[in-house]
Amino acid sequence: MLVSRVNMRGTVIKSTGSWYTVLVDKDTKVECGIKGKFRIKGIKTTNPIAVGDKVIFEMEKDGRGVINSIENRKNYIIRKSINLSKQSHIIAANVDQALLVVTLAYPRTSFGFIDRFLLTAEAYHIPTKIIFNKIDLFEKDTELKGIDKSAKNIKMEELDQIIKSYEKVGYKCYKVSATKKTDIEVIQGITKDKTTLIAGHSGVGKSTLVNSMDSNLNLKVGEISDVHFKGKHTTTFAAMHPLAYGGFIIDTPGIKELGLVDMEKYEISNYFPEMQALKSKCKFNNCLHINEPKCAIIEALNNGEIGASRYNSYMGIMKEEDLEDDY
Binding residues (CB under 5 A) for Mg ion: these are: 206-207, 234-235
Q: Is 107 in the site for ligand GTP (CB under 6 A)?
A: no
Considering only residues 55, 70, 78, 178, which one is a binding residue for ligand GTP as defined by CB under 6 A?
A: 178
Q: CA separation (Å) from 251 to 91, 210, 218, 274?
A: 10, 7, 12, 29
For residue 324, the 8-state DSSP code is B
List beta partners, residue 195. Answer: 248
> Nearest 5°: phi and psi at 86?
50, 35
Q: Is 278 in the site for ligand GTP (CB under 6 A)?
A: no
Q: Is 223 in the site for ligand GTP (CB under 6 A)?
A: yes
Q: Is 268 in the site for Zn ion (CB under 5 A)?
A: no
Site residues (CB under 5 A) for Zn ion, limited to 68-97: none
Contacts of 175 (CB under 8 A, 6+ apart): 132, 135, 159, 163, 182, 183
Interface with ligand GTP by CB under 6 A: which range of 6-14, 66-74, 162-170, 216-224? 216-224
For residue 140, the 8-state DSSP code is T
Q: From CA 57, how far away is CA 10, in angstroms rounded?
A: 8
Q: From CA 300, how far away is CA 283, in angstroms rounded?
A: 14
Q: Is 240 in the site for Zn ion (CB under 5 A)?
A: no
Considering only residues 282, 301, 306, 317, which one is a binding residue for Zn ion as defined by CB under 5 A?
A: 282
Q: Is 300 in the site for ligand GTP (CB under 6 A)?
A: no
DSSP codes, 258-293: -BPPS-BGGGGGGGSHHHHTTGGGSSSTT--SSS-T
Nearest CB to Mg ion, comparing residues 175 and 201: 201
Size of the site for Zn ion (CB under 5 A): 5
Q: How far is the CB of 178 from ligand GTP (least distance, A)?
A: 4
Nearest CA-CA partner of 252 in 51, 31, 45, 23: 51
Binding mask 238-257 for ligand GTP (x = CB under 6 A): ---------------xx---
Considering only residues 10, 52, 65, 231, which one is a binding residue for ligand GTP as defined by CB under 6 A?
A: 231
Q: From CA 76, how far away is CA 46, in angstroms rounded?
A: 14
Q: Report what 112 binds from Mg ion, ligand GTP, Zn ion, none; CB cut-off 5-8 Å by kind.
A: none
Q: Which residues bind ligand GTP (CB under 6 A)?
A: 133-134, 136-137, 177-179, 200, 202-208, 221-224, 231-235, 253-254
Q: Which residues bind Zn ion (CB under 5 A)?
A: 282, 287, 289, 295, 297
